[in-house]
Amino acid sequence: MALVTATSAAGGIRAPRPAGLKRLALYPALIFTAAFFVLPLAVMLCISFTLRDKGVTVDWFTFANYRAFVERGDGVLLQAMVNSLEVTAVVTVLSILIAYPIAYILAYRVPARWQRLLLVLMVLPFWTSYVIRSYSWLLVLSENGIINRLLTGLGVIAEPIGMGNNRGATILGFVHFFVMLLTLTIYSNLVQIKESYRRAAADLGASPWQVLLHVTLPLSLPGVAVGAFLTFVLCIGDYITPQILGGSKELLMPQAIMRQVGRTADFSMASALSMILMGVVIIAFLFSARRLRMDRL
């Protein structure tokens, strides 16, 4: 492999860089990103400022769709965003609270030879279809499902309890999925922390809790931040889980977007709502990147 070593103006040695044809290897990724991400996004942004009536574009630049987001139907679309943020916040916090102890035990309590096997077992549910996993939860939580049958069989409850088709079921489905993701990101961060740091703290008289709170936890925050950010992004934009498990008794933002497309084909409004959702994700990214130093990961 032909590598070029360059010397900087200050006389330091630069890292080797690919030369000539090797740099062309970057172009496929650039072209792909430009063609299938930047360009469609730009088109969608432009469409979001148009206004359609009877399937025809009647205004080529207007903020009407963005105003409608706030004003339409006494704020039902705004409420969809609030619902999405609430669900996403609960899912992210719950997933972190569950995933961190799992990742900690995996990294520090489980013998190294078992760690890989347990990690594989952890991600096994990833191998099943997302849709099938959601429907499986619906069957588990349903009135005729395994939990209700068990509880009624044991005499704990007289009548089946409706556990599916609500926000709780949506959150459960999300948490089940994102705990796996967060466990992986936190685990990969924990195993990078030098053992000597934790030993030094212990030698200086720190209790195991103090080591966790003052050494391990701060150093593992980048892993938590990356996992939390991915959870936030994937959760807030997900259509399938709330559609299957939520029973459509309240709208989340992706469902509100889909409703603009379905019968009326109002792509202008759907684009505007998508751009608003993307704005929220960007804010979340900036918060994660600046406050939690994701770049250190």
Partner 1 sequence: MKRNLFGRPPFTRRQFLGSSAATLAAVGTMTAMPRAGRADDELNILVWCDHTDDRLLQPFAEKHNVTINVKDYQETGAALAILEQSQPGDWDILVVDSVDVARVAERGLLSELKAADMPWGDVFPELHRTDLNFIGDKQYGMPEKFGYHGICFNKAKVDIAQLRKTSAMWDPQFAGRVAVYDYYIPTMEMVGMGIGITPGTMNAENLPAVREKLLEIKKLASVIGDVPTVQNALITGAADIIVAGGEFAVTNLTADNPDLDWIIFDEGSVFWMQSVCVFANSPRQALATEFVKYILSPQPQAELATASCYWAMPANRNATLPDEIKKLLRWDEQPGFLAKSHPYFVPDEELNAKMLEVWTEFLQA
Does position 6 interact with partner 1 (CB under 8 A)? The reply is yes
57 binds partner 1 (CB under 8 A): no
Identity of the residue, 106 or 294, whose beta carbon is nearer to partner 1 in the bound complex: 294
CA 82 to CA 69: how far, in whole Å? Answer: 12
Give, as ranges, the residues between 128 and 157 that touch partner 1 (CB under 8 A).
Answer: 135, 138-139, 142-145
Query: What single-letter DSSP state applies at residue 57?
Result: E
> In the complex with partner 1, which residue's Cβ is closer, 28 or 155?
28
Tokens of 21: 């044809």
| Site for partner 1 contains 11 (CB under 8 A) | no
Q: Which of 73, 111, 153, 205 binds partner 1 (CB under 8 A)?
A: 73
Alpha helices in 109-216 (DSSP H): 112-123, 130-141, 146-153, 167-190, 195-203, 208-211
259 forms part of the interface with partner 1 (CB under 8 A): yes
CA-wise closest residue to 52 among 40, 39, 65, 41? 65
Q: What is the DSSP string of 202-271?
A: HHTT--HHHHIIIIIHHHHHHHHHHHHHHHHHHHHT--HHHHHHSTTSS--HHHHHHHHHTTT--HHHHH
- CB nearer to partner 1: give 72 or 176: 72
Binding residue for partner 1, selected from 41, 46, 70, 76, defined by CB under 8 A = 76
Residues 61 and 49: their CA atoms lie apart, in Å, by 5
Q: Residue 251 interacts with partner 1 (CB under 8 A)?
A: yes
- What is the contact surface with partner 1 in residues (CB under 8 A)? 6, 14-18, 26-27, 30-31, 34-35, 38-39, 53-55, 72-74, 76-77, 79-80, 135, 138-139, 142-145, 160, 162, 164-165, 243-244, 247-251, 256, 259, 261-267
